[in-house]
Amino acid sequence: MSITVETYPTLREAASAMRDGTRFLGGGTMVVRGLNFGAQTYDRVVRSTDAALRDIRSDGTGLHIGAGVTMAQIMQTASTDFLAPVARAVGGPAVRNMATVGGNLFARAPYGDFGTALLALDATVQMADGQSLAIETFYAHRAGSRGLVAAVTVPRPASGAFRFAKITRTRPKGASLLCIAAHLPGGTRISGARLAFGAMGPTPLRAKEAEAALDGAALDPAGIQRALDTCLNGLDPQDDALASAWYRRAVAPVHLRRLLLGEET
C-alpha cells in the first residue's frame, strides 16, 4: 500500500485537509507504528509545520501548551516543571523526544498518562477551528472526532497541590497498569479536589464521588477513607496483556491511598 504524506504551513490548512482514511501526524509514535505494522484504516497522513504547535507560554488563564510540544520539551521547560514527572513517565527517551501533548490526548488505554494529568488539572482543549472544550467534554466526544487540537491551557496548581503516580510492571518505562493524577487544593482541609485515573477506562476518567468525599477532609487515614471506598465508582477498567480489570480494581484504592498520604507508590 502506498502512503501519501502532506505538509501544511498552518494547522488550519491541515485541519481542512482532514477526511476519512487520513491521520494527523503529531510525533508519530503511534501513527508511524501503525503504518509500520500495516494499518489498514489510513493511507494518507497530514502534518503541519505551524510553529505555534511548539509554543509554551503563560496567558491570563494559565499555561498555554501547543499540541506539538513533546514530552522532552515539557521536561526541559521551567514553566512546566509541575508536569515534568508526568512527561518523564511516558515511554523511554526515544518516545519522549517524539511523543506530543496533542497525540497523548488521543492515546488509547493503557496509554494517555499525560492526558490523565491534564484531566485532574481541569485543562481546556483548544481546537484548530477555534472551539475551546473542557477536557472532560473533549474526552466524552473523542471517539470518532476528526477535529485537530491546537493547544491545551492548564491552570498552574499551587505548589505541592498536584500529585501523580504511575503503576507499571517494568520501571521506569512500562505502560500503565493504572495512573492517578490528583489536584488537591486547600492545604490542610481539601477543597475542590480532582482525581483522575488513567488505564481505568477507555479514556482517562474522573472519580467524582471520591472527589466529593475529599471536600473538607484532611489528608490522613480517617479523612481519606470515604474517598477510597468510593473511588472505583464510574471507572471502567479493561482486561489487557498487562492486567485484568479485576486486578486494576483491586489495586487502584491501594495506590490512591499511598498517593493521598504522600507515601511511595
* Binding segment toward ligand FAD, per CB under 6 A, in 108-116, 184-192, 227-235, 244-252: 108-116
Least separation in angstroms between residue 190's CB and ligand FAD is 27
Of 197 and 219, the one with the shorter C-beta distance to ligand FAD is 197
- CA gap 244, 128 in Å, rounded: 37
Residue from 35, 67, 184, 260 in contact with ligand FAD (CB under 6 A):
67
In the chain, how many H helices and how many E strands? 11, 12
Using rule CB under 6 A, residue 205 touches ligand FAD: no
Identify the DSSP state of 100.
B
Using rule CB under 6 A, residue 27 touches ligand FAD: yes
> Grid coordinates representing 89?
513517565
> At how many degrees (to 10) do helices 221-230 and 245-261 cross?
160
Least separation in angstroms between residue 41's CB and ligand FAD is 10
Least separation in angstroms between residue 8's CB and ligand FAD is 12
What backbone phi and psi angles, to 5 degrees, belong to 64? -100, 120
Residue from 13, 28, 84, 249 in contact with ligand FAD (CB under 6 A):
28
Of 44 and 156, the one with the shorter C-beta distance to ligand FAD is 44
> Grid coordinates representing 170?
517494568
Of 27 and 157, the one with the shorter C-beta distance to ligand FAD is 27
Using rule CB under 6 A, residue 111 touches ligand FAD: yes
Using rule CB under 6 A, residue 141 touches ligand FAD: no
Pairing relationship of beta strands 178-183 and 124-127 according to DSSP bridges: unpaired
Residue from 95, 218, 245, 251 in contact with ligand FAD (CB under 6 A):
95
CA-nearest of 140, 138, 54, 161 to 101 is 54
| 77 CB neighbour count, 10 Å cutoff | 16
Least separation in angstroms between residue 58's CB and ligand FAD is 21
> Grid coordinates representing 173?
518505562
Residue from 109, 175, 181, 219 in contact with ligand FAD (CB under 6 A):
175
Pairing relationship of beta strands 44-48 and 4-8 according to DSSP bridges: parallel
* Binding segment toward ligand FAD, per CB under 6 A, in 98-106, 216-224, 235-243, 246-254: 98-106
Q: How many residues make contact with ligand FAD (CB under 6 A)?
A: 29
Q: Which residue is nearest to ligand FAD (CB)?
A: 103
b/e for 28-52, b at 16 or more Cβ within 10 A? Answer: bbbbbebbeeebeebebbbbbebee
Using rule CB under 6 A, residue 84 touches ligand FAD: no
- CA gap 206, 213 in Å, rounded: 13
- CA gap 106, 112 in Å, rounded: 7
Using rule CB under 6 A, residue 136 touches ligand FAD: no
Which residues lie below 8 Å from residue 229, measured CB to CB, with a gap of 6+?
A: 213, 253
Q: Which residues bind ligand FAD (CB under 6 A)?
A: 23-31, 33, 67, 90-91, 95, 98-100, 102-104, 106-107, 111-114, 148-149, 175
